Amino acid sequence: MKKIFAVFAAVAMIAVSCENPQEGSEPSITVAPTELGFDAEGAAPQTVTVTAVGVEWEHEVPANVSDWLTVSRDGDELAFSVADNVKGESRTAIVAVKALNNDDLRDRSVTVVQKANDNPVVYSLKVDPVYLEFDGVGASAQEVTVTVSGDMTWTADKGDADWITVTPEEGKLTVAVSDNESEDSREGMITVTPSDSDVESETIRVVQGGLVKFDVDETELTFAFHNVNNLKSIAVDAWNVTWEAKAVDEEGNEPTWITLYPSTTYVNVAVADNTVQEVRSAWVVFTTDWEEKPEVRVKVTQEAAKEYNSTLTGDVALDGVLNAGIAEINPWQVWENETEATKTNAWTIHLYDNTELESLGGSNFNGKGSVLKLIISTDRVEFNEENVYYIDEGTYTVGEAPTNAANRVAGVVYAGVLSTSPFNKFPNSYYIEFDGNNVTVNTAPISGGTVEVSRDGDNYTFEINLTDDYGWSIAGTYTGTIDLNVLGNMTDNPKVGK
C-alpha cells in the first residue's frame, strides 16, 4: 500500500522546565536507552527516559527524517513512532537531547534504526519516446507511452508552450501541435511528474520545424586594399535547409586572397592585402539543397593598392581638440633581472576628445570624436609599493617598432603599420576619427615627427608634431592628467627561500 507521511516542521523542538531540581546537585542529563530499533512494518512506538538534574532540556528531530520519524514528549519521556518503511534499504536517524542555558553539558542522542523491507515496493516512471519532432504544418499527433510501477499517479505539464496540446490517457499521453506560421522552428518541453516525490520526473522534448527559407543580407562586399577592416560578415537567414559557401573567381577557381569562416548563421569573409594597383573581384557562392534557390552569389571587390594608407584629406590641428588621456603600462617585477629585453617598457597612450566620445578600452570608442594613439618606449619601469607611475619626460621620435623587446630602445614613438589582424585595427601609433559605435571615418598611421612630454605633478603636456604616411601634419598640444591602467601586480620572487 502506498505510504502516507505526515509533514512536520523543518526541525521539531520542544522544551519544558525540569521538575523538582535537586538543590546543590551537579547539573546532569542522561537518556536511556540510547538506541532504538524498529521493524520495517507495523512497528510499535517506543519510549526513552530523559533524566535531568538542575537543567531544562529540549529534543531536536532532523528535518530530513521528519517524514517518517515522529517524537513527542510527555514529561521526562520521549515517545518514538515510525511510519512503515516500504523501501529495500534501512534508515537511520539521530535525535538530539540538549540542555538549555548550560554549555558545559554535552548533548545526548538517541539513534533510531528502522529495518529494510524484505519485500520492498519499487516505484518508477518511464516515458517513451523522450523526443518528438513535428513538421511545421499539418503534423499528425504522436503518442508517448507512460510506464509506472508502484501505487502512484502522474500528471503532464507543457509549461508555457500554448502551441502544444497534451491529452493524458491510461498508460500514455497524446501530443499534438498547432501549425507553425513562423519561419522559426520552436521547442517545448513536457514534464511528466509522478505523485511520489521520491521518483524523478521525466521530460519529453518537442521540436517543430518552421517554413523553408534561405536568404543572405548582402549582395556585394567592398574591401579597402589593406586589411585594417579585412573581416566582413554575410548573415545567413536559413530555415530547414542545408547550405554551404565557397569563394570562386571569374574562372571558377578558388581565389587565394579570400578566406571564408562559415558558421550556422553567417559567413565571415577576410581578404589579404592587395599589393597590385588594380581592382580585383571574386564571388562568395552559396549552394543549398532547396530546389527553389539552389545558388546565391555575393560579389567581393577589393580596391587597388595605394602608395599610402592615410585617409586624411588635409592637415589636422589638435589644439583644443584633445581633452582626455589614458595610459597603459605593464611594469617589471623588482626582482626580474635587467636584461636587454627588460631595460625598457612600452606605454600605450590614448589622447582623445571626450566631448562625445567614450573609451571602451584599448582603441575602441563609442561616439564621435578624435583619438591620437601613441605607443612609446621609456626606460625600465618597476612595480612600486605606492603603485604610482609616471611617463618619462623628454622628446620621443617616431621610428619603427622593434621586432622584440631586446631590440627596444627608450625615446621612440612606434610608427603605425597596416593591421594584420581584425582584432588590432590600429597597430602602434595612429590618428583616428570616430563617427559613432566604434566606426571610423578617417585613419592615419603615424610615420614621422616627434612628441615632447613634460610633467608638472600629475599634469602632463604633450607637444605633438607628427606626420602621417601621406605627409599630412598632425600637430597640437595636450595638457591635462593621464588616467593610468596598470597591468599586473607586484609579486615576491618565487625563487627566494627555495
Is a pLDDT exceeding 80 seen at residue 11?
A: no
Any domain includes 84: yes
Return the pLDDT at 67. Answer: 87
Any domain includes 7: no
Last residue of a domain, one of 67, 94, 114: 114
Return the pLDDT at 153. Answer: 92
Q: What is the mean pLDDT of residues 371-386?
A: 96
**Domain check: are 203 and 221 in the same one?**
no
**Domain check: are 397 and 481 in the same one?**
yes
Q: With 0-12 CB in 10 A as exposed, 13-18 as middle and 19+ as buried, what is 373?
A: buried
Backbone angles phi and psi of 230, in degrees to 5: -90, 5
Return the pLDDT at 123. Answer: 87
Residue 229: band (very low, low, confident or very high) from pLDDT cuts 50, 70, 90: low
**Domain check: are 239 and 377 in the same one?**
no
Any domain includes 282: yes
Say whether pTM exceeds 0.85: no
Any domain includes 349: yes
Domain span at residue 38?
12-114
Residue 9: band (very low, low, confident or very high) from pLDDT cuts 50, 70, 90: very low
**Domain check: are 339 and 281 in the same one?**
no
**Domain check: are 281 and 356 in the same one?**
no
* Averaged pLDDT score across all residues of the chain: 90
Is a pLDDT exceeding 80 seen at residue 454?
A: yes
Is a pLDDT exceeding 90 seen at residue 321?
A: yes
pLDDT (tens digit per residue) in 360-370:
888 889 999 99
Any domain includes 424: yes
**Domain check: are 140 and 106 in the same one?**
no
- Among 23-32, 72-81, 253-262, 458-467, the minimum mean pLDDT is found in 23-32
Residue 285 sits in a domain of what CATH number? Answer: 2.60.40.10
Q: What is the mean pLDDT of residues 265-294?
A: 90
**Domain check: are 470 and 326 in the same one?**
yes
Q: What is the largest CA-CA distance in the chain?
A: 111
Any domain includes 91: yes
Any domain includes 55: yes
User: Structurally, how many domains does the chain consist of?
Assistant: 4
**Domain check: are 356 and 468 in the same one?**
yes
**Domain check: are 200 and 236 in the same one?**
no
Last residue of a domain, one of 302, 327, 358: 302
**Domain check: are 281 and 324 in the same one?**
no
Backbone angles phi and psi of 76, in degrees to 5: -95, 10
**Domain check: are 344 and 432 in the same one?**
yes
Last residue of a domain, one of 93, 114, 135: 114
**Domain check: are 335 and 449 in the same one?**
yes
Return the pLDDT at 227. Answer: 60
Residue 198: band (very low, low, confident or very high) from pLDDT cuts 50, 70, 90: confident
Any domain includes 1: no
